[in-house]
Amino acid sequence: MIQSDYLIVGQGLAGTALAWTLIKRGYRVHILDRCEPITSSKIAAGLITPITGLRLVVSWRLDEFLPFATRFYRSVEQQTDTHFFELKPMLRLFSSEQEQEQYRERSQTHFPELVSVPEPLADPETFEISRGGFEMIGGQLDVPLYLDVTRRYFESRSWFQQAEIDPVNDLEFQATNVRLPRWNLQADKIIFCEGIHSQHNPWFRTIPFEGAKGEILTLKIPGLKERRVVHRGIWLAHWKEDLYRAGSTYHREQLDCEPTPAGREEICSRLSEFLKLPVEVIDHRAAVRPVIRGRLPIMGLHPEQPQIGFFNGFASKGSLQTPWMADHFSDILEGKVPLEKQLDLSRKLNF
Ligand SMILES: Cc1cc2nc3c(=O)[nH]c(=O)nc-3n(C[C@H](O)[C@H](O)[C@H](O)COP(=O)(O)OP(=O)(O)OC[C@H]3O[C@@H](n4cnc5c(N)ncnc54)[C@H](O)[C@@H]3O)c2cc1C
């Protein structure tokens, strides 16, 4: 039997951040993932957008989470000798008078240090900029690369295993640990970081998962020189050479990973409202974001079976929130701090 301190089920953004954090604290971690080709993390654009929505709201605890995430990704980059995280300028273009008005009302009071207004905002031959906008510094994580280098780093140390865990039949509990005989594994605790799949995990059946399907396009746009991420209802982000990504949709129905003609049409038509160049669709993907009612991440040990943990609910904010939240959860596992009430698993399990 391979003995570890923590088994982590799921190597998406959540499980990956938690695994690195626990390893850096000296724990023996073994991570298990079923290696599906399409997951929420694998298709995510990895954007960290400081100010979002029609009402121009500053992302929750941005001043704490963004510097923390930046340090975290830099340290994993160093450890794996790779580059996958960048702080980069983002352009927000207004599409209505209402947005211009929100900006006038809020920019001086709510985010005076976060924005600037370059002159010109962007090339008017390329973008519709007549209603104005602003620039902000956000972040972009190359999520597939971050997940891939992590998996290879862990594999080379025998800390990673491809496995589909059955949360009922695979687990045997002993007084102070949990065993997975089918996989020859034993650990003090097993932490489920399964994303939306946890809605089918019987240990967490009362958690109010909602899920939100997102679709994303890869586009070829010859002649486009813009390297900033451009937001106007949807976003357009440079990927490599003349390839860009655009997205994403956000829908509560038909929660599956099937790209739809309606999703493609929605992105293309919203893009054509601000981009004046022709685009060619190269790729189209869809997945389901793990949203839990209340829209905050949820974590903790199971009140009835404390060898089992849960770390999930990162919705659209996995790139920004998982590093800080993994650190917070590790502090809780070590008994150093109390769990923030709003993030507490047991409240969602109705215990
Ligand atoms: C179209 C789209 C665009 C997005 N864009 C952004 C963005 O720009 N910025 C951002 O921050 N976020 C974005 N997100 C959201 C972000 O991707 C999520 O916050 C994040 O993926 C959640 O990660 P996770 O690890 O919780 O879940 P997942 O990514 O779903 O990972 C769970 C992993 O666990 C594995 N697994 C599940 N059950 C088992 C089991 N029983 N045994 C073994 N393995 C198992 C799965 O195969 C998967 O690999 C986007 C999402 C979508 C769909």
- CATH number, domain at 217? 3.30.9.10
Ligand 1 mean position, distance from CA 290 (Å): 7
What are the pLDDT tens digits along the chain (351 aa)?
899 999 999 999 999 999 999 999 999 999 999 999 999 999 999 999 999 988 899 999 999 999 999 999 999 999 999 999 999 999 999 999 999 999 998 888 888 888 889 899 999 999 999 999 999 999 999 999 999 999 999 999 999 999 999 999 999 999 889 999 999 999 999 999 999 999 999 999 999 999 999 999 999 999 999 999 999 999 999 999 999 999 999 999 999 999 999 999 999 999 999 999 999 999 999 999 999 999 999 999 999 999 999 999 999 999 999 999 999 999 999 999 999 999 999 988 875
Instruction: Please check whether residues 218 and 269 belong to one and the same domain.
Output: yes
Query: Cβ(206)–Cβ(304) under 8 Å?
Result: no
186 domain-assigned: yes
Candidates 8, 289, 321: which one to mutate for ligand 1, based on the most atoms within 8 Å of Cβ?
A: 289
3-state secondary structure of 83: coil
Ligand 1 mean position, distance from CA 239 (Å): 20
Query: Cβ(32)–Cβ(183) under 8 Å?
Result: yes
Which residues constitute the domain of residue 221?
A: 212-289
**pTM given for the model:** 0.97
312 domain-assigned: yes
Nearest-atom index, ligand 1, CA of 215 = 1
Query: Cβ(52)–Cβ(315) under 8 Å?
Result: no
CATH code of the domain in which 165 resides: 3.50.50.60
Ligand 1 mean position, distance from CA 39 (Å): 5
Instruction: Please check whether residues 216 and 285 belong to one and the same domain.
Output: yes
Q: What is the DSSP letter of 11?
A: -
Instruction: Please check whether residues 204 and 322 belong to one and the same domain.
Output: yes
Ligand 1 neighbour 211 (Cβ under 6 A):
no
Ligand 1 neighbour 312 (Cβ under 6 A):
yes
**Nearest-CA residue for atom 21 of ligand 1:** 41
Tell me how far apart the alpha carbons of residues 248 and 45 are, in angstroms, rounded to a whole number: 9
Q: What's the pLDDT score for residue 351?
A: 57
Query: Cβ(164)–Cβ(267) under 8 Å?
Result: no
User: DSSP characters for 157-221?
Assistant: TT-EEE----TTTT-EE-SS-EEEGGGTEEEEEEEE--GGGGGG-GGGTTS-B--EEEEEEEEE-
Query: Cβ(3)–Cβ(174) under 8 Å?
Result: no
Tell me how far apart the alpha carbons of residues 52 and 57 are, in angstroms, rounded to a whole number: 5
338 domain-assigned: yes
**Nearest-CA residue for atom 6 of ligand 1:** 44
Ligand 1 neighbour 313 (Cβ under 6 A):
no
Instruction: Please check whether residues 189 and 252 belong to one and the same domain.
Output: no
Q: What is the DSSP letter of 39?
A: -
Instruction: Please check whether residues 194 and 205 belong to one and the same domain.
Output: yes
Instruction: Please check whether residues 240 and 338 belong to one and the same domain.
Output: no
For the chain, the domain total comes to 2
Ligand 1 mean position, distance from CA 145 (Å): 14
Please name every residue paired with 238 in a beta bridge, in sequence order, or none if there are none: 244
Nearest-atom index, ligand 1, CA of 32 = 43
Nearest-atom index, ligand 1, CA of 47 = 8
325 domain-assigned: yes
Instruction: Please check whether residues 148 and 285 belong to one and the same domain.
Output: no
Ligand 1 neighbour 214 (Cβ under 6 A):
yes
Instruction: Please check whether residues 311 and 325 belong to one and the same domain.
Output: yes
Ligand 1 mean position, distance from CA 193 (Å): 9
Query: Cβ(297)–Cβ(313) under 8 Å?
Result: yes
Tell me how far apart the alpha carbons of residues 185 and 199 are, in angstroms, rounded to a whole number: 24
126 domain-assigned: no
Q: ∠ at Cα 38 (37, 39), nearest 5°?
A: 120
Tell me how far apart the alpha carbons of residues 116 and 112 are, in angstroms, rounded to a whole number: 9
Which H or E element spans position 33?
A: strand 29-33
Ligand 1 mean position, distance from CA 12 (Å): 5
69 domain-assigned: no
Centre a 10 Å sphere on the Cβ of residue 79 and count the other Cβ atoms it contains: 14
Instruction: Please check whether residues 178 and 234 belong to one and the same domain.
Output: no
Ligand 1 neighbour 15 (Cβ under 6 A):
yes
Question: Residue 274: which of 216, 215, 221, 218 has the closest Cα?
Answer: 221
Instruction: Please check whether residues 204 and 297 belong to one and the same domain.
Output: yes
Terminal-to-terminal C-alpha distance of the chain: 34
**Nearest-CA residue for atom 25 of ligand 1:** 12
261 class by beta-carbon count within 10 Å (0-12 exposed, 13-18 middle, 19+ buried): exposed
